[in-house]
Structure 1
Amino acid sequence: MPYDDPFYNGNIAELDINSVKSAIKFLREKPINPFLLSISFNNPHDITHVNEKTINEFGIPTNPILLPHLASNFYAPDLEFGQASGSTTPPALNSNIGWSNLNFRRHSYQYYRFIETVDNQIGEILEGIKLAGLESNTYLIFTGDHGEMNGSHRRIREFSMYNEALSVPFIIKGPGIPGGVVNRKHLISALDLYPTLCDAAGITTPQGLRGKSALKVLRNFNTPLRKYAFAQIGNFFSRVAVSTRYKYALFLKTHTAYDIPIREAFFDMEADSGETKNLINNLALKPIIDNHRNALNNWMIHTNDPFVTQAVVVD
């Protein structure tokens, strides 16, 4: 629905409510099989628009004991913008400059309330699927476009190679997929969503896609899908290669936000999930680092990414 649709008169706050109503209406009308229903929730994205003036939308408790704790890596050094001052940090990242610890906790409270609201709305749709008799032969997928820093490294919003911003949920339910299982052994990319849907529906996957069907790994968790997954932070900032244990990030050679000589980062996500120690200069890990570096470089060449010509080259 376009934003000017009279169904909700351009009121962004009503977008998710009316998306749910439209979805349930569609399900009640007994859609012809096969069908594809895509429901795009706006929230919890609107946490990115919250600032000190708007932070009390949900009636935040005045007693700090009732607020969420600070992120476990709240005090960790920010390796991405570690020495940057407010004047050089990109505008999208400096909205929380000068925030107190209490502000971060109040922000987290509101973020979790956004998530709670969306959880309820998804519950309504799941109930609609059940009432329509579609539960047993329908694949349901829940995912997102980015995460939220939520106080990690004293930052909010996305625009970051840190896992809090980079990782997204991927929950799938459907015929042949075991329930109640969390798979942390294998990698999946947003690029894999389209070919997975085609595979599940018995549709020939178009040629030239950069993703792969994840249906086999979802049905049999011993089947790896990919060795690396890749991500980019906008058209600038950074590029990332992730394996099942490690993460490699590459930054631009020049950027006004950087006043420290850090152009690469490498993390052992198994030993340091909070990404607090940059291991890029660890000689013992050099072969593994080089593998990730080469994998990312090959991916950028394969995707005709102009970033490859701008990024740092390390001997």
Structure 2
Amino acid sequence: MSNVESVHTGRKPNVVFIIADDHREESLGASGNAIVRTPVLDGLAAEGTAFSNTHIFGGLTGAVCAPSRACVNSGKSIFNAMIGKDVMSWEHAITIRSDVKLMPQAMREAGYRTHAVGKWHNDKPSFARSFDGGDKLFFHGMSDHTEVPVQDFDPTGQYPPEREYMEHTFSTELFTNAAVDFIAQYEEKEPFYLYVAYTAPHDPRTAPEAYRSMYKEEDIPLPANFMEQHPFDTGDMTVRDEGLAGLPREAGEIRRHIADYYAMITHLDAEIGRVVEALKVKGIYDDTIIVYTADHGLSVGQHGLMGKQNVYEHSVRIPFILRGPSVPAGGRQAAPVSNIDIFPTLASLCQIPLPNEVEGVSMLPVLKGETDRVRHVVCSAYRDVQRMATDGRWKLIRTYYSPATKTGVDRIQLFDLQNDSWETADLFDDPQHHEVLLQLAGELKKWMHEYSDILIETPVLPTSEG
């Protein structure tokens, strides 16, 4: 493990922070997936540390992307970082409170030159107070990958819609080009913080043919938790994402979707390789911390679902890879991590002041080998219909009925992730696991109080023990 200062310059390390859209942790070669091809990300994981048990905090609308990105950039819960707490409120999903200091803002105040490329799915004032510069800025949730409405950096911070122009270079390549150009042209004495936010592998999953042809649908195995239809109402069974495939789910169609998904990921991986190469050509690769993560995962046929509007592992567990100065090589950590912990971890590595209001915790003690975990459990929320808690082995999912939308059901599930990583065997009714159930229910209730959950007065267990 090297010193926090760059090995060549003696200054704080540069940071390249990469965040993907819809990339679940399981869909990485480094995570044991033998089908998807991700040699660049696998290499970063081998040269650094991968936190394999990282979960999103969640969201209160179907657009989980925006609040999840707010959690990453604020280190705070969705209940305390966003404007309002109304379920299904677009303002709550998008708008970060003006008094919340964000990760790039803190880096900027600590002397970093902050530069953004790609997607910013939160409010424009939060972007403006965070970045010194930017290029190919995308202030939307999604678009066709060859019709991308972008803006140039606006020093006024206004970013009115009329400034947008259309780019037809494939989004992943478009954003990579901008990132590579920034690295190549950077000559300032201050270290830089480069935020690269891709829209891949989000649909429409239309990877270039050279990558799509790598995956033959007939060679794609169905996941062990494939179902033709989810057995109960999770609260959002008719959201847009769930209409991307027919019902009941058909094996051939799901294989095609998985092939499309993997092709997008492999293309993304190759483009990240160009960013890595640009750092090497510039001679600053060893002076730069690279972070790779995603806003959330995706079902793509698992549990009979297609989207991310649930709290199964495929939707709430994300990659979190660190590589660079002060990061041990070859580490794979199973410590429970929340995405609100990414900001404090990076702040620790760069030795910059952390805002007092940050609710996440640094994983630096785990990186240093001082402990095997700093959290006992992590939890996630989805709307007013789902909550989950996991200690890494055991996982409780609580589904509620929503009077507001008349969706969901009153149900609890318990899974042994160590022996059932696909979450196929519900152990809720097994008496021998009753104590584990009560323990996790207690942890979830504590979490709901700690972070001011909107369901704070709602029992976790539908019994006197809840």
Alignment correspondent of 1:231 = 380
Question: Which amino acid in the other structure matches residue 290 of structure 1?
Answer: L
**SS of 1:37 mapped into structure 2:** strand
- The gaps in structure 1 that reach 5 residues or longer are none
Alignment correspondent of 2:76 = none
The question of 1:182 aligning with 2:332 is answered yes
The within-5 A match list for 1:210-249 is 210-220=359-369, 222-233=371-382, 235-249=383-397
Distance 2:274 2:454 in 1: 44
Deviates more, 1:140-149 or 1:304-313: 304-313
**SS of 1:231 mapped into structure 2:** strand
Return the structure number with greater relative CO, CA threshold 8 A, min gap 6.
2
Distance 2:273 2:297 in 1: 21
Alignment correspondent of 1:148 = 298
Match of 1:5 among 113, 130, 150: 150
The question of 1:102 aligning with 2:252 is answered yes
Match of 1:284 among 402, 416, 432: 432
Alignment correspondent of 2:176 = 20
Cα distance per residue 1:180-222 (max 9 Å; x no partner)? 23222x1111111111111111112111211111122123274
Distance 2:177 2:214 in 1: 31
Say if 2:212 and 2:263, in contact at 8 Å, map to a contact too: no
Question: Which amino acid in the other structure matches residue 224 of structure 2?
Answer: S
1:61–1:106: structure 2 CA closer, same or farther, 3 Å change rule?
farther
Say if 1:68 and 1:108, in contact at 8 Å, map to a contact too: yes
Cα distance per residue 1:93-130 (max 9 Å; x no partner)? 24422342110111111000000110011000011111
1:262–1:237: structure 2 CA closer, same or farther, 3 Å change rule?
closer
The question of 1:272 aligning with 2:420 is answered yes
Q: TM-score when scaled to structure 1?
A: 0.84
Alignment correspondent of 1:121 = 271
Say if 1:301 and 1:308, in contact at 8 Å, map to a contact too: yes
Alignment correspondent of 1:293 = 441
Distance 1:285 1:192 in 2: 30
Match of 2:200 among 40, 43, 67: 43
Deviation at 1:157, TM superposition (A): 1.9
Cα distance per residue 1:1-21 (max 9 Å; x no partner)? 145535683348643322212
How many residues are aligned here? 300
The within-5 A match list for 1:37-76 is 37-46=194-203, 49=204, 65=218, 67-75=219-227
1:262–1:275: structure 2 CA closer, same or farther, 3 Å change rule?
farther
1:63–1:115: structure 2 CA closer, same or farther, 3 Å change rule?
closer
Deviation at 1:245, TM superposition (A): 0.6
Distance 2:169 2:386 in 1: 32
Deviation at 1:299, TM superposition (A): 1.2
Distance 2:454 2:416 in 1: 28
Question: Which amino acid in the other structure matches residue 387 of structure 2?
Answer: R
**SS of 2:276 mapped into structure 1:** helix
Deviation at 1:248, TM superposition (A): 1.1
Say if 2:344 and 2:361, in contact at 8 Å, map to a contact too: yes
- The gaps in structure 2 that reach 5 residues or longer are 1-136, 140-148, 153-163
The question of 1:303 aligning with 2:455 is answered no
Distance 2:362 2:215 in 1: 48
1:39–1:121: structure 2 CA closer, same or farther, 3 Å change rule?
same
1:162–1:141: structure 2 CA closer, same or farther, 3 Å change rule?
same
Q: CA RMSD in A?
A: 2.9
Match of 2:399 among 221, 237, 251: 251
Alignment correspondent of 1:204 = 353
Cα distance per residue 1:126-147 (max 9 Å; x no partner)? 1111112222222111000111
Distance 1:100 1:244 in 2: 32
1:199–1:12: structure 2 CA closer, same or farther, 3 Å change rule?
farther
Distance 1:257 1:60 in 2: 40
Distance 2:273 2:258 in 1: 23
Which has the larger strand fraction? 2
Deviation at 1:26, TM superposition (A): 1.5
Say if 1:251 and 1:312, in contact at 8 Å, map to a contact too: no
Q: Percent identity?
A: 23
Distance 1:137 1:63 in 2: 40
Say if 1:148 and 1:158, in contact at 8 Å, map to a contact too: yes
Deviates more, 1:113-122 or 1:217-226: 217-226
Say if 1:248 and 1:293, in contact at 8 Å, map to a contact too: yes
Question: Which amino acid in the other structure matches residue 368 of structure 2?
Answer: R
Question: Which amino acid in the other structure matches residue 30 of structure 1?
Answer: E
Distance 2:250 2:327 in 1: 45
Q: TM-score when scaled to structure 2?
A: 0.59
